Structure 1
Amino acid sequence: MRPSILRSALPASLVVLSLVLAGCGGGDDGEKKSSGEPTAEVTPEEPATWPLTGLEAEDGQSVALDHPVVVTKIDNSPASSPQIGLSKADLVVEELVEGGITRLAAFYYSQLPGDIGPVRSMRASDIGIVSPAGGVIATSGAAAPTIERINRNKIKYFSEGGPGFYRKSGRHAPYNLFTDLEKVGKAAEDGKDERPVDYLPWGTAEDFAGGTPAPTLSAHFGSRTTNWRFENGTYTNTNSNAAEGDHFVPDTVLVLRVKVVDAGYRDPAGNFVPESKFEGTGAAQVFHNGEVVEGTWSKDKIDSPLTLATADGAELKVPAGKVWIELVPVDADNGSVTVGE
């Protein structure tokens, strides 16, 4: 007869007795286990998060990639319509250029789509925008003074004639230059899988509290006004130039008031070329979940990460998700913000 059958046939009282005796035996081992000696605590691993959104990566997905952040300069005038590829961006910054219009610095890291544009030229403002991410720029080029300063700050850029750039048929110049960011990213690889630093001080929705109602907002840049409306849990750019179904839909709109100075040269039409100074400190407004929190922003150096504080000086975090940053001139003649109730 097999042992397992013998065990099952033992009387229940005998089984109980054997368990009691087993518990009484081996006292020395029991004393050692309760000796009070400290045991090593296991610290749970922090979840891997994307640097431009603060969102957790999927299981097994690495956030340390071989390519750097790729910032693409995209035209934002009506002539750029329809913009292609904005929905794939992780983060977008809107900046003032000459004539009171704006351009977009669209940040790509978690994915590099193959069709982005129309691609336009860099400005000196991009140095402070791109440097904290350690990114490269996809651009049509720039004025000689800007290129000199970009090179001096050791920012790598890719332009027409480089990997991925092409002219799209059916559009007229200069609004027909597009690029394949997969090819740009491949050309920017350096053989090192590294995660860029967080672009913003990321938090959770629970960190965002005490805001006042702000169902709409408008960022005024002079000739360009960008309008936002909160609906269905996100913000909608009601006058976007993006293609249908290809809009960038942010969870948060971050307005930063910046000083604007003369970039030191004129454009071909003789217009003043502005430079947004994205360092120092200024007023900030964080729009999330249909509310706004007022505070300040600071950036010690041009390549420093951004920090935010509430009006009373407490740390202010941005809920993880997609963010659109408005760099609105602090000068009332060139910029202002209107908040609807």
Structure 2
Amino acid sequence: MRTRTQSPSRQRRLALVLTPVLAAGLLLAGCGGKSDKKATADQPAASTSPSTPPAPQFWPLTGVQAPAGQSVAKNRPVLVVKIDNTDNSSPQLGLGSADMVVEELVEGAATRLAAFFYSTLPKTVGPVRSMRASDIGVVSPVHATVVTSGMAGQTKARVSGAGVKFIQEGAKGFFRDNTRTSPSWYHLLDHLDETATLAKTKSAATPKNYLTWGTEAELPAGTPATQVDVPFGGFHTTKWVFQGGHYVNTNSYAKKGDEFAADNVLVIRAHIGDAGYLDPAGNHVPEIQLDGRTGKALLFHGGKVVRGSWSKKTAASPFELSTAAGALKVPAGHTWIELVPDNGPQLTIK
């Protein structure tokens, strides 16, 4: 079979016919390519949907929601400062910046404060005093680091054995204010922002909630309580009056304008044992025993009191509060905890 060969003139005519057709096809293909790229760039289905807003964050020592966009995880632990609570401590510094305060019975029928700082650090705190074994169960639930003047040898052995970290006099931030009129052992103060640098951690983490936080609406009805006197036995009674939406400590030693504004006053009746040694004045040192125990609790909030009970499984466990109706949640806010003897005088409530 013979192949037909096209003449040069016929080949030129065929080229003239096909050229416009091929050009049009290429133009359409080019337009189609641009259109596909534009559609792909303009409408990535997943990325154009609204992003999920971050979950709200809450401060662990108050239950209060942090401002939007603010992280509550810090690269330092909770700091607890042991502060004297006698007339020799006047004026106490830094209490107005505390998230929470725990008042503890010590020797001589006096009390001492464990002031918890996390969301805010004051410039100066004090007067700083020594630790007690009672502090182990108080600070362990949030793995706090304690800022202290020091402690007895027996106490240091137990504190260290329990894994509680502490920073004591002589470290960065401590100083003495000898202009104070009280005896020299009440002159120790601390620049907490400086001492906090010694407690920095490698990674930021949020401590566990110290209490089970809730809302005012979740609080049982309770009974009216606009005044309460909390006796520790002996010579000291802490007095509270509900005014301006807060409980005000009317016999506080805090510097004016630097007082702790308590949204809640939580009274824990606890067994008081003997720590096993004497202080320099010959007084038996009491120990507040909390681990594996239960007792009566009274929660004051909003001008009323709710009666219930507390329990604490171990030193590192939080306080669990309840009433006959079930779990008792503490309204979010600043809380002052009174650890009073379970066999002590009754509270005066009005």
- Structure 1 counterpart of 2:83, one-letter code: I
1:74 aligns with 2:83: yes
1:324 maps onto 2:333 in alignment: no
CA distance in 2 between counterparts of 1:174 and 1:58 reads 40
CA distance in 1, matches of 2:70, 2:187: 35
**What SS does the aligned partner of 2:230 have?**
strand
Query: Quick check: 1:338 aligned with 2:348?
Result: yes
Specify the alignment match of 1:7 in structure 2: none
Q: Name the counterpart of 2:303.
A: 290
What pairs with 1:300-319 in structure 2 (closer than 5 Å)?
Answer: 300-310=313-323, 312-319=324-331
Matched to 1:218, the amino acid is: D
Structure of larger gyration radius: 2
Secondary structure at the counterpart of residue 174 of structure 1:
helix
1:212 is aligned to 223
Residues in 2 aligned to 1:192 and 1:264: alpha-carbon distance in whole angstroms: 39
For 1:198 and 1:131, locate their aligned partners in 2 and report how far apart those are by CA, in whole Å.
Answer: 12
Paired letter, 2:294: T
- Matching residue within 251, 267, 270 for 1:239: 251
1:152 alignment partner, one of 161, 166, 177: 161
| SS of corresponding position for 1:336 | coil
Shift of 1:323: 0.3
- Could you tell me how far 1:313 is from its partner in structure 2? 4.4
Give the deviation of 1:331 after TM superposition. Answer: 1.5
Equivalent residue, structure 1, for 2:57: 48
Alpha-carbon distance in structure 1 between the residues aligned to 2:310 and 2:178: 43
Q: C-alpha deviations, 1:269-319, integer Å up to 9, x for none?
A: 110110011231110000000000000011111110111101x14110000
3-state secondary structure, aligned to 2:184: coil
| Contact preservation (8 Å) 2:178, 2:184 | no
Q: Report the CA distance between 1:133 and its aligned residue.
A: 1.1
Pick aligned residue for 1:180 from 178, 187, 191: 191
Q: Which residue of 2 aligns with 1:122?
A: 131
Q: Compute the TM-score of the two structures, normalised by the length of structure 2.
A: 0.83
Contact 1:329 1:336 in 2 (8 A): no
How many residues get paired? 296
Q: What's the CA shift string for 1:196-220, capped at 9, x where partnerless?
A: 0000100011111311001111110
What 5-or-longer segments of structure 2 have no aligned partner? 1-50
Aligned equivalents of 2:85, 2:118: Cα separation in 1: 21
Is the contact between residue 221 and residue 336 of structure 1 (CA under 8 Å) also seen in structure 2?
no
Could you report, residue by residue, the CA deviation over 1:48-98 in whole angstroms, capped at 9, with x for unpaired residues? 000000001111211010000000000000110110110000000000000
CA distance in 1, matches of 2:222, 2:242: 14
Distance (Å, rounded) in 2 between the aligned partners of 1:242 and 1:183: 22
- Partners of 1:101 and 1:274 lie apart in 2 by 11
1:109 aligns with 2:118: yes
The root-mean-square deviation of aligned C-alpha atoms, in Å, is: 1.3
